[in-house]
Amino acid sequence: MLLPLVVAQIGVIGVPAALTFELSRHSDKRRRIIASGTRVLSAQAVLLTVVGTVTLITVGSALELAGELMAIAAFGVVSSVTQQYGLALLQGRQSFRQFNVARLGQPTVYAIGIVMLMVSGSATVASVLAVWIFGSLAVGVTTLWYALRHTEENRSGSSVSTRELLHLGLRSMVGTVAPLEAFRIDQFAVALLLPAEELGLYVVALSLTNLARFVGQSIGMIGYPAVAGQPTRKAALDAQRQYVGITVLAAGSVSLLVGLAAAWLVPAAFGREYSGAIPVTYWLVLASFATAVRRVIGDTSRGRGNPLLGSAGEILALVLVLGGVLAMAGYGAVGIAASVTVASVVSTSVIACLALSGASVTAKFSRTTRRLRWSAQPPAERTAE
């Protein structure tokens, strides 16, 4: 039943992230930017609901799922879309208190609903799914309503067109979705290629090493609109470096503590039979740290107006993981964890060098292209660079 959420995550094509950028950058025309975003939201909500419903019917029929489950899950698309847009509006306005309340709203409503179902003795698969989906929908609609209602009217400044939002969203899409994290391709590979025991070890290690990634995700959510709202390019670069430095310290401290405690923590939390997860944890804790840093670099680079850098980092990490998994699967869960770590460290190092040097990636590419073209010319035709 995660299928509708995948459809919504991919189907919004990065437009919520584009809205956050434009709202942070152009505070003088927020109402007009939101008007453009609302038009996209309306079209996407209808289109993606239809796509999600058709997909659910097709997959559900093949798997012989109950009709009531598919009917409930169909609402998952619109609930996810409204949540993404509502959070994007609050993030762009830098209303972080309301943003964090909205983020915690869905799990809070879900927890309360589950407790009520258990107390009443009416917990079934359909009722649990309904609490999750309709609770998310209620929170999403409320968040979106609040963000729209509490956005001040601005009469100055020109509007940002729907086309501009779509263009920026498409360039931000891969970096925003972060497919390696969102779809846990490494975990899927372990389940597909290795015995169930290896999957158990990998999941145990993964559960202990996600904290650094969550730290990076939280810092990136704040850093993105903060960098986008800077008045000059130099100020934006300085702000980016500051947020990346904070991430290195915070995520690095968390990763170091988990790494040092792993030999004691794994047997204490899961039993000695899972001691084989200790070396996997050592690898994944480093991967989690690198992922946190890459996430913040990608988010803050998007805030500087360079969304392609974060997307390029995620694509590079994905390609390296896929290649590493095929090469290292013979070494079990440790081998796959090592391949994920190498991919994370390499991709993070590459985008860190590109992002934090102070020059535009586009400008660097243009200069490199000109130099290659110049060197390919006959000496008599060369002009001074």
pLDDT 10s digits, 8-19: 888 888 889 988
In 3D space, the residue among 33, 13, 14 whose CA is nearest the CA of residue 23 turns out to be 33
Q: Which residue has the higher pLDDT, 6 or 343?
A: 343
DSSP 1: -
What ranges do the domains of the chain cover? Answer: 3-176, 178-370
pLDDT of residue 335: 93
Q: Which residue has the higher pLDDT, 126 or 250?
A: 250
pLDDT in tens, 98-118: 998 988 888 899 889 889 988
How many C-alpha atoms does 82 have within 13 Å on its Cβ side? Answer: 24
For residue 366, name the pLDDT band (cuts at 50, 70, 90).
very low
Q: Check whether 315 has a pLDDT greater than 80.
A: yes
Which of 133-142, 265-274, 281-290, 355-364 is predicted most confidently?
281-290
DSSP string, 43-104: HHHHHHHHHHHHHHHHHHHHHT--HHHHHHHTTHHHHHHHHHHHHHHHHHTT-HHHHHHHHH
pLDDT of residue 380: 57
Q: Check whether 68 has a pLDDT greater than 80.
A: no
Give the DSSP H/E element, type plus range, for residue 180.
Answer: helix 179-182
Q: At what angle do helices 162-177 and 30-63 cross, to 10 degrees?
A: 50
Q: Check whether 362 has a pLDDT greater than 60.
A: no
pLDDT of residue 247: 96
Q: Check whether 178 has a pLDDT greater than 60.
A: yes
pLDDT of residue 319: 92
Q: Which residue has the higher pLDDT, 185 or 138?
A: 138
For residue 385, name the pLDDT band (cuts at 50, 70, 90).
very low
Backbone angle region of 204, left / alpha / beta, with phi > 0 → left and psi within -120 to 50 → alpha: alpha
In 3D space, the residue among 45, 38, 8, 225 whose CA is nearest the CA of residue 148 turns out to be 38
In 3D space, the residue among 14, 329, 5, 343 whose CA is nearest the CA of residue 189 turns out to be 329
pTM across the whole model: 0.81
Mean pLDDT is lowest, of 28-37, 85-94, 221-230, for: 28-37
pLDDT of residue 1: 55
Tell me the average pLDDT of the chain: 84
pLDDT of residue 191: 86
Tell me how long the chain is: 385
> pLDDT > 90: what percent of the chain?
34
pLDDT in tens, 28-59: 777 888 888 888 888 888 898 888 888 877 77
pLDDT of residue 165: 85
For residue 367, name the pLDDT band (cuts at 50, 70, 90).
low
Q: Check whether 365 has a pLDDT greater than 50.
A: no
Q: Check whether 330 has a pLDDT greater than 90.
A: no
For residue 361, name the pLDDT band (cuts at 50, 70, 90).
low
